[in-house]
Structure 1
């Protein structure tokens, strides 16, 4: 069978992959080659910039007809003809290759420490405004009588988690610190902080080929430092915004392009646009994009000011499905100037998409500056995912959002448009669709280990014992249906035990403080987690084990360097030798769990789970409380941020 890319198109590659005649690695490599060829022929520079088209206004976002994808100015995986569903073998053929999957998402917004709380605020139409915070080190940024939308605890940061000293963290712009935590949470949500991150290789073969694009504009921390300098303090944070992208990429050891963007209110959406362009050109295998805005200095104080931070992780949709990623939504297009696709309309001529704009975002979280774009995009994703329209100025209560249907009665994905006007120059638009899994994209059956395989190996790790205990407590609370913040309040169905265990093994970094649980079902997992949290130091039987590798040498038998180790680990996994695998992992041996249990299809390898816990404490310029070193070795914690299996 001839595997030359020039003799196959995307459809044939996917057909052969689904039939089993192409392995996953071969299919991804050929698709990548096809993507590069399409880019070289059509887009020699960057993402296209187009003139704004005529846009149909919308008063009600319901829709009943299918959007026709007729043109593409936005970056996309490859150029191909859009056929009728029957000609293409069904709508699934197009869905499998067109667009960019949102595989990870995270954020913090006013009165919302995470996206679950933020969605509840959006759904309920909650007023998140308040008087200016008076407990910030720089004082309140608002005048008497003014109100704004603020984040809490912005002066706090978990330096120890990221291997930084408190003194180093105090010199970082709080916006950079907040964005760093949010990017890590988004990568965890994407299952990309463990060995799956290393498997994302770039055109030069280097691992961790993840681009990082940050929208940011404010420099209030530098103003506060300058005022302190005038009073005799000699502390000055680094100038500019490069730390939000270039510095963070270096700390996370990412090898893709990194860029900070300052285009005022469109900064974050411009960052998304650049991320898609980098993916299209093959400069990275995945990309993180987002933005952040904090109001820390009274010179920018204004009524209805807002704050926020958010990040998404993007992959080409075909790659995401091949990797078994969860897909929150599909980004079909980004364009500077306006969309090139016609606005979908039903037979009556009514526009059929939801629009997220600066105005709708400001009503919810205030004028959030550089974070406006990521806040609007996040609102669109959350509504698409829930199938519920959040209140707006015209809609006072949440309403169900039915899927449109085509002329044959088939359900079609919901669509949302994020559209931001610029104060100067052209605006920017992003078109998102709900992800409807293709009928044949279900996860392939997991290879059988043994007939007696009943237990699951659940692995947790963290940089310190305190972080590990807090993570175990968070997971136990999340799994308990009646607990605040637990499963009863989550928008998705609870994961099966096998899905949960696989996500934690393959999608999370292996940090030095480790906990291994061998369990038969979710109730037993909750019980074991509670037992560990109650007394982390207690001696237990073989089903609850922990290890602290900060002081001792990891992989004491040097198995990681032996060429036979990979086959040995694979044999242990096939034989369901969980006891031996547990001991090896607790000893520090790097184990590529993703390679041992790779599965394809949406959500086959990653399901939504709680993120790691940050143990934050105040860190600010001139704060005497940040002069001491954290407990444990910061260098060891920093080195442990490299996934080791």
Structure 2
């Protein structure tokens, strides 16, 4: 299996979502694997002959929002459309999932969001004039208008890349992904969020079950002979994107890559404004394959628009077939499916739902079933097409090429979008890491810190394949630092689970490898104090020397410079083999040897701490330690310091032996 890259690929490195009966990405994926129809029934007629079901997919707990976390007052949150609130949460979670803290990331991060029409103003605020009039007209507008959804996220998370609201009806979110990819390739941003947001309230037949294209039996039957309409639904999906070359260089986790994307419009060549166009869809799919530089036979799955409407499904399959037939006559080799059979039609978030499903499928190498399919639509010629409906869970095998997929989304009004995806490339494993790992957690409240600790233990239990050093690194550099903090020292997954899952230990105490602390009112300064001669011994800091590359590098640098002054390799004296150990121990007592070795160890340790972010506000030293402090303070260079230390040690050793007396009394008593 080989994959050729042209430098235009985009990596998907982070995911977050809110879908029906799915509070997070993992719950959504499990529902897909289990073939769950995530639909709620609103009303059902009692007339058995003309039975009609009003149904749709709804979000749980949409009224929940941690206003203070994002710096909102209760009243501000109350007048804010749930689309604004939930996208803020999803944007935060997506960046965390990607391993990035926007407060630390200095490079620009973009936001492209396809946002559906909001109903909160009409159904929640206007019927409550007292609440509506409690804020000014401008604040009301900003709180409910969909155009302010992405820019509010940019403001609250301090994201300085482009921030754009996209509106192309049903294809909005996939168009947002396309625009985000173009922005990354143009260098306008280093990372980008791309999202679809569709939350209509109240969540009932009034907003989610209009009459025109809705299935009367409460099921979406994409590509099936019984297809009679789609279902409405609410949902939010967010992906974090980065140029593939940058993602590989930064060693990000890559779920999948976008090989190419294309958008276009049908124009006037169709029977009506709201109707789909076979010609327009064909051009979109074919052009996307050309941009991605892939052959149709290498594509083994298509996540279709798949609305389950009598008009839409046959036109879509005909367009896909025409696009593929330009280069292949092969039949029934490419699986197709539609997430709308699980969730219904999510309006502006429809495309992102299909993209997230396909991304997870590539990442997990499984094809979830497309539901409610028993007999092909007679108006669709599957037998002579490249496609078959994937109606059961299958392992996604390769066909001689990397696993590849297409994702389609077509909007009312004729704006079409198609993406070509490919499985993530295999990356070389990370270099070996230190034996013990430091897991850092923080939160804004003690309760939230307790929850974060439990969540970490649960994550370890549910993800045995994740590596402890990778998790430790992400927790250290990819999470915002909040006042209430906890540090866990762990050697392996088992110890991490045991310590993380235990209750929080008392404030500012260390128990069983975990320490918790309340917030400091200020940032107390750190002082480095360097000791003098007498503290040296054989194998001093040997474990650190063997496990920490930076410490070893700084030690070796000092030893190599000192070898020119001492005519001996200090490494062999400090870390001897068993035979010359006694001789080395005696040699190490000599001042001419002990002082240079102490300097090297103290200097290297200080450099290691500073590389970890521990920066001293002051440097103090006793005896030979004074020279280490002076060198680190910039009084003289390392080469100058080592020359002085070597000469000082030799001169002191040449002096007549003396004695030292230590008296534990105050100056006045002496």
Normalised to the residue count of structure 1, the TM-score between the two structures is: 0.63
Query: Which residue number in structure 1 is paired with residue 28 of structure 2?
Result: 118
1:192 aligns with 2:173: no
SS at match of 1:475: helix
SS at match of 1:188: helix
Of 546, 550, 553, 2:522 maps to: 553
SS at match of 1:296: coil
Query: Which residue number in structure 1 is paired with residue 475 of structure 2?
Result: 504
Query: Which residue number in structure 2 is paired with residue 212 of structure 1?
Result: 111
Query: Which residue number in structure 1 is paired with residue 63 of structure 2?
Result: 155
Distance in 2, matches of 1:575 and 1:456, equals: 18
Kindly provide the CA deviation profile for residues 75-117 of structure 1, in whole angstroms up to 9, marking residues without a partner as x: xxxxxxxxxxxxxxxx56x438340000111112111111111
Query: Offset of 1:187 from its aligned partner?
Result: 0.4
Query: Which residue number in structure 1 is paired with residue 146 of structure 2?
Result: 241
Aligned residues between the structures: 441
| Cα distance change, pair 477–581 in 1 and its aligned pair in 2 (3 A) | farther
Kindly provide the CA deviation profile for residues 560-614 of structure 1, in whole angstroms up to 9, marking residues without a partner as x: xxxxxxx99x9899759999999959x9xxxxxxxxxxxxxxxxxxxxxxxxxxx
Moved more, 521-530 or 180-189: 521-530
Query: Offset of 1:364 from its aligned partner?
Result: 1.3
1:106 aligns with 2:11: no
Query: Which residue number in structure 2 is paired with residue 331 of structure 1?
Result: 258
| 8 Å Cα contact 1:358/1:376 also seen in 2 | no
Query: Which residue number in structure 2 is paired with residue 477 of structure 1?
Result: 458
Query: Which residue number in structure 2 is paired with residue 514 of structure 1?
Result: 485
Distance in 2, matches of 1:277 and 1:193, equals: 23
| Cα distance change, pair 425–514 in 1 and its aligned pair in 2 (3 A) | same
| 8 Å Cα contact 1:229/1:235 also seen in 2 | no
Could you tell me which runs of 5 or more consecutive residues in structure 1 were left unpaired when the two chains were aligned: 1-65, 67-90, 134-142, 199-206, 406-411, 481-485, 488-492, 560-566, 588-645
| 8 Å Cα contact 1:389/1:398 also seen in 2 | yes
Distance in 2, matches of 1:173 and 1:288, equals: 20
Kindly provide the CA deviation profile for residues 425-478 of structure 1, in whole angstroms up to 9, marking residues without a partner as x: 2311111111122xxx414525x7xxxx53211111112221111000111122
Query: Offset of 1:155 from its aligned partner?
Result: 0.7
Of 476, 496, 510, 1:540 maps to: 510
| Cα distance change, pair 536–356 in 1 and its aligned pair in 2 (3 A) | farther
Distance in 2, matches of 1:390 and 1:234, equals: 49
| Cα distance change, pair 540–314 in 1 and its aligned pair in 2 (3 A) | same
Kindly provide the CA deviation profile for residues 186-240 of structure 1, in whole angstroms up to 9, marking residues without a partner as x: 1011111167x52xxxxxxxx2400001111221111134423557752463342
Distance in 1, matches of 2:473 and 2:423, equals: 25
Query: Offset of 1:305 from its aligned partner?
Result: 1.5
Q: What pairs with 1:337-352 in structure 2 (closer than 5 Å)? A: 337=264, 338-339=284-285, 340=287, 341=289, 344-346=295-297, 352=300
Could you tell me which runs of 5 or more consecutive residues in structure 2 were left unpaired when the two chains were aligned: 44-50, 215-230, 265-283, 308-337, 374-388, 529-549, 555-601, 618-670
Q: What pairs with 1:85-484 in structure 2 (closer than 5 Å)? A: 91=2, 94-95=4-5, 97-132=7-42, 145-193=53-101, 197-198=104-105, 207-230=106-129, 233-235=132-134, 237=140, 238=142, 239-297=144-202, 299-302=206-209, 304-337=231-264, 338-339=284-285, 340=287, 341=289, 344-346=295-297, 352-359=300-307, 360-392=338-370, 393=373, 394-405=389-400, 412-437=401-426, 441-443=427-429, 445=431, 454-480=435-461
SS at match of 2:304: strand
Higher relative contact order (CA 8 A, sep 6+): 1
Distance in 1, matches of 2:79 and 2:527, equals: 39
| Cα distance change, pair 522–543 in 1 and its aligned pair in 2 (3 A) | same
Distance in 2, matches of 1:312 and 1:471, equals: 23
Query: Which residue number in structure 2 is paired with residue 85 of structure 1?
Result: none
| Cα distance change, pair 578–463 in 1 and its aligned pair in 2 (3 A) | farther
| 8 Å Cα contact 1:208/1:253 also seen in 2 | no
Kindly provide the CA deviation profile for residues 364-409 of structure 1, in whole angstroms up to 9, marking residues without a partner as x: 101211110110101110111111111113433201111111xxxx
| Cα distance change, pair 229–130 in 1 and its aligned pair in 2 (3 A) | closer
Q: What pairs with 1:52-63 in structure 2 (closer than 5 Å)? A: none
Distance in 2, matches of 1:215 and 1:545, equals: 43
| 8 Å Cα contact 2:305/2:408 also seen in 1 | yes
| 8 Å Cα contact 2:441/2:453 also seen in 1 | yes
| 8 Å Cα contact 1:129/1:149 also seen in 2 | yes
SS at match of 1:127: coil
Query: Which residue number in structure 2 is paired with residue 526 of structure 1?
Result: 497
Kindly provide the CA deviation profile for residues 257-289 of structure 1, in whole angstroms up to 9, marking residues without a partner as x: 101112211111111111112112111111100
Task: Calculate the aligned-residue CA RMSD, in Å.
Answer: 3.3
SS at match of 1:180: helix
| 8 Å Cα contact 1:217/1:263 also seen in 2 | no
| 8 Å Cα contact 2:18/2:59 also seen in 1 | yes
| Cα distance change, pair 320–583 in 1 and its aligned pair in 2 (3 A) | closer
Distance in 1, matches of 2:603 and 2:344, equals: 51
| 8 Å Cα contact 2:299/2:404 also seen in 1 | no
Distance in 2, matches of 1:218 and 1:173, equals: 11
Distance in 2, matches of 1:573 and 1:249, equals: 43
Q: What pairs with 1:595-614 in structure 2 (closer than 5 Å)? A: none
Structure index of larger Rg: 2
Moved more, 535-544 or 461-470: 535-544
Kindly provide the CA deviation profile for residues 518-549 of structure 1, in whole angstroms up to 9, marking residues without a partner as x: 2222211111113334x554843483222222
Query: Offset of 1:152 from its aligned partner?
Result: 0.4
Query: Offset of 1:242 from its aligned partner?
Result: 3.3
Normalised to the residue count of structure 2, the TM-score between the two structures is: 0.60
| 8 Å Cα contact 1:99/1:331 also seen in 2 | yes
| 8 Å Cα contact 1:356/1:380 also seen in 2 | no
| 8 Å Cα contact 2:198/2:348 also seen in 1 | yes
| Cα distance change, pair 301–314 in 1 and its aligned pair in 2 (3 A) | closer
Distance in 2, matches of 1:504 and 1:151, equals: 29
